[in-house]
């Protein structure tokens, strides 16, 4: 199995219940119901297809519309 990519994943230590990141000693995956993960270990098989739904933190950006420009 390959090494986990959790440290760069946007779901690491993300609490979907509180909609925020938490600082804890035990790491968890916010995408998979706060399942425990080891960022230094092997890639967990959380999606039962050999992966986890990894998503890089910097991959997303918020879109906005400037309505003043069209006024």
pLDDT one-digit tens code per residue, 48-67: 877 788 888 875 566 777 77
Domain range summary for the chain, segments of one domain joined by +: 1-56
Distances (CA, A) of 68 to 42, 61, 62, 65: 50, 21, 18, 9
pLDDT confidence of residue 13: 94
Length of the chain: 71
Q: CA 40 to CA 33: how far, in whole Å? A: 20
pLDDT confidence of residue 21: 92
pLDDT confidence of residue 1: 64
Q: Which of 34, 40, 8 is nearest to 20 (CA)?
A: 34
pTM to 2 decimal places: 0.69
pLDDT one-digit tens code per residue, 15-53: 988 889 999 889 999 988 899 999 999 888 887 877 788
């Amino acid at each position: 199995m390959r090494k986990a990519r959790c440290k760069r994943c946007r779901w690491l230590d993300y609490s979907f219940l509180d909609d925020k990141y938490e600082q804890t000693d035990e790491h968890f995956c916010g995408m998979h119901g706060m399942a425990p993960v080891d960022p230094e270990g092997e890639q967990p098989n959380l999606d039962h297809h050999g992966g986890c739904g990894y998503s890089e933190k910097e991959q997303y950006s918020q879109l906005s519309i400037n309505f003043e420009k069209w006024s």
